[in-house]
Amino acid sequence: SRSVVIVGRPNVGKSRLFNRLARKRISIVHDKPGITRDVVATRIADGDYTLQDTGGLGLKGGETPAQLIAASEKQVSFAIDTATLILFVVDGLEGLTALDTRIAAELRKGKKPVLLVVNKADFGEEKIDIAEAYRLGLGEPLFISAEHGRGETDLRTAIKNHLDASDTAEAVETQEDAPRPLCVCFIGRPNVGKSSLSNRLLRSDRLIVSDVPGTTRDAVTHDFQFRGRDKKLHPFRLIDTAGIKAATKLASPVEYFSRLRSLDSIKETDVVFVVLDAMEGVTQQDKAIAGEAIKEHKPIIVVVNKWDLVHKAFADGTTASTALRGFKNEREYREKYEKAVFEQLYFTPGAPLIFVSAMSGYEVSRMLNSAVKLHRVLDKKIPTARLNKLIVHLAERTPPPAVAGRRFRIYYATQTSNHPFRIKIFCNREGNLAENYRRYLEAGVINEFDLHGCPVYFDLVGKK
């Protein structure tokens, strides 16, 4: 989606401008301490974009000039990384400073569209004239007063025009530039470490972009950037369901899931992390939760948390009184665990299983890399001709069970969507495929088109 990012040195009026464009005072969702809200974001519905103010990024108050430069560099590189359009705000009353010139130079290098906004042009007393503003090399300046509303309409129009222009430009580029964040959530029974994993992801070494306010009272979403194995920055959105934890103490897994589903945001989840406890093996409740997760049609990554405890128990020789009893070493336990998961829980073929520790951070980035990979798979287009051939072939090799004495015939198949993959099968009957036959076809399609870990659904279109 489209993102407009505000940059500029302190006190030029960035947050005033933010509030004016948002048409409200943004109240920041209260959250756990220790998470800095460096960047504030809000959705501008009538302009169809997300507005972000980088004002707090890299600032703690009382900065030296050198720290100010460092902070503004941070803001600018964040903007260049994430923005569709950058609003660069300068102070009309104060005039241009050396730092403004410096920021302008960085922005020119960034090659992202920039709209130069001269703020505090309240009563025509600004010290910056058109000629001087032009010298920043960022095109035509817009004179506004965030305080009094001067130039607001022109600014909205200019933002719209820039965004529309970049939509067209983006359409020709590859999917990779699409800034939509990858939405993830952790699910699992109480105490497996969901909150700890969330906190680990949101540690200060990763940039928290925003808490999107107003989603639901039960779930808070956190945006952050993750530099993947591919060295690229990947925007992530964590749907933190910690809020429903208390309620789930009483709830059964099914109730837990109906709560999850009722959260608007969960529908947007791209990849679900199902969390298990390394010291406890697969429990009955895990089975129920995993089963419900499967029904969500989302790719799943199985995360076995608290691996540090396993490691420590083997290192200290204290396995006797635990689930680790009888295992020679970590590796043997790991292999056994992995086998048990896939035997006892049905997951989409190729679903990744990762042993992690929220405590030590072990393999936490692998978890995110794995999500990036699955997410990429979901963008695949399955060529219809090959799909057809495959489905017909699979149906010949193992025919679907006859219905009411009639042979089940498949005529034609085509992909109707991804996220999740849906395939329409034109055949001589209506209804659903038997689950084990669905899995047979699913496994065939996954293998043929390399869709490991992503569920495939089939809709039957038939004669009555």
14 annotated binding-site participant: yes
190 annotated binding-site participant: yes
Q: Give the residue with the Cβ less far from ligand GDP, 56 or 188.
A: 188
Any idea what DSSP says for residue 122? Answer: S
Collapsing DSSP to helix, strand or coil, 4 comes out as strand
Least distance (Å) from ligand GDP to the CB of residue 391?
A: 40
Estimate the share of the chain in helix, then strand, then coil, as percent rounded to the nearest 5.
40, 20, 40
395 annotated binding-site participant: no
Least distance (Å) from ligand GDP to the CB of residue 226?
A: 19
Q: Give the residue with the Cβ less far from ligand GDP, 268 or 308.
A: 308
Specify which residues 117 forms β-bridges with.
89, 142
Q: How far apart are CA 333 and CA 318, in angstroms?
A: 14
Phi first, then psi, for residue 403 (nearest 5°) are -115, 125
Least distance (Å) from ligand GDP to the CB of residue 232?
A: 27
Pair type for strands 142-143 and 300-305: unpaired
9 annotated binding-site participant: yes
Phi first, then psi, for residue 102 (nearest 5°) are -65, -45
Pair type for strands 220-227 and 208-211: antiparallel
Q: How far apart are CA 166 and CA 162, in angstroms?
A: 6
Q: Are 120 and 13 in contact (CB under 8 A)?
A: yes
Q: Give the residue with the Cβ less far from ligand GDP, 276 or 377.
A: 276
Residues shown for the chain: 464
Q: Give the residue with the Cβ less far from ligand GDP, 155 or 304.
A: 304
Q: How far apart are CA 441 and CA 422, in angstroms?
A: 12
Residue nearest to ligand GDP (CB): 193
Least distance (Å) from ligand GDP to the CB of residue 194?
A: 3
Strands (E), 65-113: 85-91
Least distance (Å) from ligand GDP to the CB of residue 202?
A: 13
Q: How far apart are CA 195 and CA 191, in angstroms?
A: 9
352 annotated binding-site participant: no
Q: Are 395 and 410 in contact (CB under 8 A)?
A: yes
Q: How far apart are CA 257 and CA 268, in angstroms?
A: 15
Distance (Å) of CA 239 to CA 112, 224, 372, 446:
29, 11, 16, 28
Least distance (Å) from ligand GDP to the CB of residue 214?
A: 23
46 annotated binding-site participant: no
Q: Give the residue with the Cβ less far from ligand GDP, 68 or 359.
A: 359
Specify which residues 162 forms β-bridges with.
none
Least distance (Å) from ligand GDP to the CB of residue 434?
A: 35
240 annotated binding-site participant: yes
Q: Give the residue with the Cβ less far from ligand GDP, 356 or 382.
A: 356
402 annotated binding-site participant: no
The residues of the shown chain that bind ligand GDP, judged by CB under 6 A, are 188, 190-196, 245, 305-306, 308-309, 357-359
Strands (E), 257-399: 271-277, 300-305, 353-355
361 annotated binding-site participant: no
Instruction: Give the neighbor-by-neighbor strand order of the sheet with 456-462.
Output: 410-417, 421-427, 456-462
**Nearest-CA neighbor of 9 among 82, 130, 106?**
106
Tracing tokens 């208390």 back to the chain, one arrives at 246
436 annotated binding-site participant: no
156 annotated binding-site participant: no
Q: Give the residue with the Cβ less far from ligand GDP, 44 or 242.
A: 242
218 annotated binding-site participant: no
Sequence-separated (6 or more) residues with CB below 8 Å from residue 103 = 7, 8, 9, 72, 76, 88
Phi first, then psi, for residue 357 (nearest 5°) are -140, 115
Q: Give the residue with the Cβ less far from ligand GDP, 205 or 396.
A: 205
Q: Give the residue with the Cβ less far from ligand GDP, 20 or 200.
A: 200
Least distance (Å) from ligand GDP to the CB of residue 95?
A: 52
**Nearest-CA neighbor of 115 among 85, 82, 90, 93?**
85
192 annotated binding-site participant: yes
Q: Give the residue with the Cβ less far from ligand GDP, 34 or 405.
A: 34
Least distance (Å) from ligand GDP to the CB of residue 218?
A: 14
Least distance (Å) from ligand GDP to the CB of residue 322?
A: 13
Distance (Å) of CA 439 to CA 106, 137, 377, 446, 455:
53, 59, 19, 10, 9
Residues annotated within the binding site for GTP are 8-15, 53-57, 119-122, 188-195, 240-244, 305-308
Residues annotated within the binding site are 8-15, 53-57, 119-122, 188-195, 240-244, 305-308
